[in-house]
Amino acid sequence: MELLDKVEPETTVTVKKIEGGSDVKKSLEDLGVVEGVELTVISTEPIHVHSGAISLVLSGSDRGVIVSRGWGGKIIVEKDDRSLPLLQLEKGEDGIVKSIEGGKELKKFISDDLGIKPGEKIEFSRHLEDVTLVLKIGDSEVRMGEGQASKVLVEKDGELVQINYLMTGEKAKIAKILGGMSLIEKFDEVGFKEGKDITLVKRDAVAPLQKKGIYVTAKIGGELITIGRGLAEKISVE
């Protein structure tokens, strides 16, 4: 067996073992990487480390959209006659959305709720600052990163926007959670439910991350995924 980040491009392997705790395994499971699955390594190359959320601009509008790193790896764009994950674009570059990899529900969240549709032009605006949002719901405070917050739509001035676009001290009503049952249950545990009022208390800065890293691009059942080196080093394949 060898580690996934050491596998040569254009090689098909089977995942034999995944090291790490439940968080590691859950992150990989969300990408479709579980023990026993077969995948084909497309490339291993240095690209930006997208450990945080990405700010996008939709063509023909001033509306910004925020996507988590995980979802960014599932949005395939066409640039200079090449198809690649959104994660491989650089700041200021744009591309045409070619496809959205994943299940029917995920495609609906990204296309219908966020407005990122195949055929649309999108611009990689910037990496969001590495901050933690502190939100108040009822008498409790909840902390979450920009990527997680981007999956919650709130009603603000008669429109649905992602939590990320609230100003400090601003109050809004939770309208929709973009995710499957596991995410809905996770939010439910901390009081995040549709119809509940929340207030953005503040944004806490955290230590900045390194700017470059190694990512493995692979295909599972025809779907293109991007795995950070930290996770790839925990995957043993054969």
CATH number at residue 28: 2.30.30.90
Do 106 and 153 sit in the same domain of this protein? no
Which of the two residues, 50 and 97, has the higher pLDDT score? Answer: 97
User: 68 or 174: which carries more pLDDT confidence?
Assistant: 174
Sign of the torsion formed by the C-alpha atoms of 188, 191, 192 and 193: positive
Is 238 a domain residue? Answer: no
Q: Is 121 helix (H, G, I), strand (E, B) or coil?
A: strand
Q: Is 43 exposed, middle or buried (0-12, 13-18, 19+ CB in 10 A)?
A: middle
Question: What pLDDT does residue 51 have?
Answer: 57
Name the percent of the chain lying above pLDDT 70: 92
pLDDT at residue 49 tops 60: no
**For the chain, how many structural domains are there in total?**
3
- With beta carbons less than 8 A apart as the criterion, state whether 201 and 167 touch: no
Mean pLDDT of the chain: 86
Whether residues 12 and 77 fall in one domain: no
Pair 174, 114 in one domain: no
Domain membership of residue 210 (yes or no) is: no
Same domain, 105 and 93: yes
**In the predicted model, what is the mean pLDDT of residues 15-25?**
88
Residues 60 and 38 occupy one common structural domain: no
Q: For residue 129, what pLDDT is reported?
A: 76
- Identify whether 186 is part of a domain: yes
Judge if 23 and 64 occupy the same domain.
no
Which whole number is the average pLDDT over 204-232?
Answer: 74
Tokens at 45, concatenated: 């190359």
Q: Which of 127, 155, 175 is the last residue of a domain?
A: 127
Give the residue numbers spanning the domain of 114.
50-127
| 195, 226: one domain | no
| Mean predicted confidence (pLDDT) in 73-97 | 86
Last residue of a domain, which of 109, 127, 145? 127
Q: Is residue 211 predicted with pLDDT exceeding 50?
A: no
- Determine what percent of the chain is predicted with pLDDT higher than 90: 41
The average pLDDT across 44-65 equals: 74
Q: Has residue 224 been placed in a domain?
A: yes
